[in-house]
C-alpha cells in the first residue's frame, strides 16, 4: 500500500537537498509527518492546499515506514497514517507535480 505526502515547492526542495524532511509546519507542531491514503488525498488538497498553485505529491511505500507508522483518528474520525520519524527520500516510490486547475489539483490515478 502507498501513503501520500503533499509538499509545497520550497518544502520539496529542502527535502531533496537534505534527503529527508520532518514535514511542514503542521507536522512539526504535531510531532509527526501527516500522510494520507489514496482516498484521503483529494480532501487533504482541498482543505490544506487549495490556495497553492503547485504542490508535489509524494507516493511513499508503507513497507519502508511500517515500524514508525501509526494509524490514528483524524478528520471525521477516519484513520490517517502518521509517520513518527522523518520522511526519507528512500521512502518515496514516485512523485508527481500537481498544478491547480479549474477544479483544484488533479491527482490522476493513485495506487
Mean pLDDT over 17-36 rounds to 96
pLDDT digits (tens, 9 = 90+) for 32-88: 999 999 999 999 999 999 999 999 999 999 899 999 999 999 888 889 999 999 999
For residues 62 and 111, give the distance between their C-alpha atoms in angstroms, rounded to a whole number: 12
What pTM was estimated for this model as a whole?
0.94
For residues 21 and 79, give the distance between their C-alpha atoms in angstroms, rounded to a whole number: 22
Per-residue cell: 51: 490556495
- Given a contact cutoff of 8 angstroms between Cβ atoms, the answer to whether 87 and 15 are in contact is yes
- Given a contact cutoff of 8 angstroms between Cβ atoms, the answer to whether 70 and 17 are in contact is no
Q: Is a pLDDT exceeding 80 seen at residue 111? A: no
Give the homologous superfamily in CATH for domain 2-99: Protein of unknown function DUF952 (3.20.170.20)
Top-confidence residue, 15 or 76:
15
Kind plus residue range of the DSSP H or E element containing 4: strand 2-7
pLDDT at 14: 97
Per-domain boundaries in the chain = 2-99
Mean pLDDT over 83-106 rounds to 96
Amino acid at each position: 500500500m502507498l501513503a501520500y505526502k503533499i509538499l509545497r515547492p520550497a518544502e520539496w526542495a529542502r527535502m531533496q537537498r537534505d534527503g529527508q524532511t520532518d514535514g511542514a509546519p503542521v507536522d512539526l507542531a504535531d510531532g509527526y509527518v501527516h500522510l494520507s491514503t489514496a482516498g484521503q488525498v483529494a480532501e487533504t488538497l482541498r482543505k490544506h492546499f487549495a490556495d497553492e498553485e503547485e504542490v508535489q505529491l509524494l507516493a511513499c511505500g508503507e513497507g519502508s515506514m511500517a515500524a514508525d507508522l501509526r494509524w490514528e483518528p483524524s478528520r471525521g474520525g477516519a484513520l490517517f497514517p502518521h509517520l513518527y520519524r522523518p520522511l526519507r527520500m528512500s521512502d518515496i516510490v514516485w512523485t508527481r507535480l500537481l498544478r491547480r486547475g479549474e477544479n483544484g489539483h488533479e491527482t490522476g490515478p493513485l495506487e
